Structure 1
Amino acid sequence: MKQKLLAGALAAATALTPLASIAETLVFGTGNVPMHPINQRIMEPWAAAVNEAGGDALQIEVRHGPTIVSPNNYVDRVMDDVVQLAWGMLVFDPGRFPRSLVSTTPFIEGKAEATAMAFCSLYEEGAFGEEFADYHPVFFVPFPQTNIHMKDAPITSVRDLAGKKVATGSPVAAAIVSANGGSPLSVILPEQYQALQRGNADGTFMNYTAFPGFKLHEVTTDHLDVPLGGATGMVFMLKSRYEALSDDAKAALDANGGCDKTREVGAIVDQWEADSKGFVMSQEGHTFNEVDPNELAALQENVFPMIVQGFDERVPGGADLVAKWQDAVSAARAELGDGS
């Protein structure tokens, strides 16, 4: 009888004791090879910080590699719940994010930290319309201005693009190549090495961050620094999935996201860009030039209006959006100082 009473008491006590919290796990697909610099510099430290803040409420499970998420399907993978978080470049899905491509506008000088601040400020004020209505961007990842990189072809001016096949990643970049007598090629970054190696492309518009990870220094020789537009990516999840999280889980994400995190990532990308360019400069067989200031001024005066017009034709209100982008970048540069 005593044993029955004891068992009953223990059962009642167990029923009244709260069960240990089980952390919600979100699978995060980066789409990158594990040793890619963006994983080491940004994605893995971010996931570790969220996991520390999330504790028993939220944990991020990072999965690398293009099998689970690729540059072309990162949005669909999130929508299909193959992963709950993903990283991807907006320019790789221009049909979904046409207004966001304002960050690819060329000839607007500014480092990644400044453009990070500008992009996030426009996002918060709703300048991108309904493009993000179904998504919750945890933070944005800005990339610095692209430059021109050629294989076995000296380049000291954008006019040297004449007759060349050049890999580009945006309509704006393609327009610049065409305007200077070249042939733009739509080749995504993971495929550019082979295109350059096989001679299918003579050059590429790219920033230096891509060089160590994709070994572009092995298939390029000549480089021209000219501000040909940046690009923006994001780490994101479905808005409905975010809203379904517990308050503690949301707090862990929010503490490691938003415009403050975006700006921090911008500064990391600037250092990554500087380190990557230094790496390329340390290799043999490379030459480096900067665009002549007079040529840049002429491009800003003569070509920039055509770029804006083209953007306005593709995106309703595009010209006004470019003007907002210019103002936002200028304000960010002023806040950071002239060197930004």
Structure 2
Amino acid sequence: MTASGLLGGDGSARAQEVTLTVHHFLSAKAVNQAKMIEPWAESITEASGGRIAFEIFPSMTMGGSPPELYQQVRDGVADIVWTVLGYTPGVFPHAEVFNLPSVHSGSALVTNLAIQDLMDGPLAVDFEQVHPLLVHVHSGQALHTVGTSVRSIEDARGLKLRVPSRSGTWMIEAMGAEPVGMPVPDVPQAMSQGVLDGAFLPFEVALPLRLIDIAKYHTELAGGHRFGTTTFLLAMNQERYESLPDDLRAIIDDHSGEALARMAGEAWDAVEPRVMALAEARGNEIMHLDAEQSAPFLDAFRVTEERWLAEMAEKGIDGAALLAAAKEAVARHAPEAPGGVIGASE
């Protein structure tokens, strides 16, 4: 369902008390809406007996640009937004730990559950100005390139690569490549026109953006490792949330947090192999680097962790304790990954 109508159904609309707007930057067919936001909204509408309805605005149809989404929900322009934490640098320093390549497990489900373990603890301070419904990740970033087959770190040197976050910038620099920051909807045109040589993105985003028709090469690392991940936020305006009756707030709470983290993680993990198969069917080449080929990348990415720890120290944040807590949480949930432990978090 898009902005053309309400999620709720004809029968439930008679009891409708609240309509919540949801704004995000991807298309209505993308995984975030089709597999997460819509089922989540429908479950709340059903549980509330139709008292809560939702109107979803994909592709920034409420106006503004993707980096403005956090401000829109904070200020009440939209009731709910789905956005990338990295679009507002410096606002979420604690949650940034899950972007680091040494933390993410390679499974969205595992990392999502790990994030939930810390939401009421060290991550809470990042979200004091909004009501967080879910903080989550995707399954991890593969490297998609147009004209270069990246089989070694030397192959990546000098390439202009789209960066998803500050830590992504550091990763790209550590590879000897050139980071280029831009919102994800701008990536296909930039790659088609040669402004970018490639991008860090999961395969599930590469499908609606048609990147598997533009990029001819796709690289992922050994042992389930990807090139880090991106952390997302589904958040509600705090005043709007507090204005709801207690029973409706309880319904939203019951369908958010861990329950939504599990649903979102399973949806993201399920779509990756399907899109990879579609890319191969188009004649694209997917490189699964072995441990020897991957080692120079992983060694270089340790610089990312060191830079993040140094920045946390400057902010007065105990980055080492936060990093240890994040890795421990990921390890604790790793057996829940499809097929067992995916990757490592050393």
Q: Any idea what the Cα deviations from partners look like across 1:49-70, whole Å, max 9, x if unmatched?
A: 1111122532222222313154
Query: For 2:136 and 2:112, how far apart are their aligned partners in 1?
Result: 7
Match for residue 181 of structure 1? 176
Match for residue 332 of structure 2? 331
Match for residue 280 of structure 2? 281
Q: Give the conservation status (yes or no) of the 8 Å contact 2:115–2:136.
A: no
User: What amino acid sits opposite 1:333 in the alignment?
Assistant: A
Q: Give the conservation status (yes or no) of the 8 Å contact 1:110–1:329.
A: no
1:141 match: secondary structure: strand
Match of 1:123 among 109, 119, 123: 119
Q: Give the conservation status (yes or no) of the 8 Å contact 1:26–1:59.
A: yes
Q: Give the conservation status (yes or no) of the 8 Å contact 1:57–1:248.
A: no
Query: For 1:225 and 1:305, how far apart are their aligned partners in 2?
Result: 17
Match for residue 9 of structure 2? none
Distance 1:205 1:317, change over 3 A: same
1:130 match: secondary structure: helix
Q: How big is the shift at 1:155?
A: 1.2
Match for residue 152 of structure 2? 157
Match for residue 3 of structure 2? none
Aligned-residue Cα RMSD (Å) equals 2.0
Distance 1:217 1:304, change over 3 A: closer
Distance 1:56 1:34, change over 3 A: closer
Q: How big is the shift at 1:282?
A: 1.6
User: What amino acid sits opposite 1:338 in the alignment?
Assistant: G
Q: How big is the shift at 1:317?
A: 2.2
Query: For 1:35 and 1:297, how far apart are their aligned partners in 2?
Result: 36
Q: Give the conservation status (yes or no) of the 8 Å contact 2:241–2:249.
A: yes
Q: Any idea what the Cα deviations from partners look like across 1:77-113, whole Å, max 9, x if unmatched?
A: 1133221111111122222112211111114433010
Distance 1:173 1:104, change over 3 A: same
Match for residue 303 of structure 2? 306
Query: For 1:180 and 1:254, how far apart are their aligned partners in 2?
Result: 42
Match of 1:33 among 27, 48, 61: 27
Distance 1:150 1:138, change over 3 A: same
User: What amino acid sits opposite 1:232 in the alignment?
Assistant: T
Q: Give the conservation status (yes or no) of the 8 Å contact 2:109–2:336.
A: no
Q: Give the conservation status (yes or no) of the 8 Å contact 1:308–1:318.
A: no
TM-score by length of structure 2 reads 0.85
Match for residue 247 of structure 1? 246
Query: For 1:38 and 1:56, how far apart are their aligned partners in 2?
Result: 23
Query: For 1:299 and 1:36, how far apart are their aligned partners in 2?
Result: 30
Distance 1:150 1:38, change over 3 A: same
Distance 1:185 1:159, change over 3 A: same
Distance 1:277 1:101, change over 3 A: same
Query: For 2:66 and 2:217, how far apart are their aligned partners in 1?
Result: 27
User: What amino acid sits opposite 1:318 in the alignment?
Assistant: G
- Residues 1:194 and 2:189 are matched in the alignment: yes
Structure 1, unpaired ranges of 5+: 1-19
User: What amino acid sits opposite 1:39 in the alignment?
Assistant: Q
Q: Any idea what the Cα deviations from partners look like across 1:119-162, whole Å, max 9, x if unmatched?
A: 111113x2125211122111233211212111111111222111
Query: For 2:258 and 2:100, how far apart are their aligned partners in 1?
Result: 21
Distance 1:335 1:206, change over 3 A: closer
Query: For 1:234 and 1:303, how far apart are their aligned partners in 2?
Result: 28
Q: How big is the shift at 1:304?
A: 4.2
Q: Give the conservation status (yes or no) of the 8 Å contact 1:118–1:325.
A: yes
Rg bigger for which structure?
A: 1
Match for residue 5 of structure 1? none
Query: For 1:43 and 1:334, how far apart are their aligned partners in 2?
Result: 26
Match for residue 16 of structure 1? none
Match for residue 97 of structure 2? 102
Distance 1:190 1:56, change over 3 A: closer
Aligned length: 318
Query: For 1:205 and 1:21, how far apart are their aligned partners in 2?
Result: 45
Deviates more, 1:155-164 or 1:67-76: 67-76
Q: Any idea what the Cα deviations from partners look like across 1:15-39, whole Å, max 9, x if unmatched?
A: xxxxx96612211223333333332
Deviates more, 1:22-31 or 1:89-98: 22-31
Match of 1:54 among 48, 61, 68: 48
Q: Give the conservation status (yes or no) of the 8 Å contact 1:50–1:60.
A: no
1:27 match: secondary structure: strand
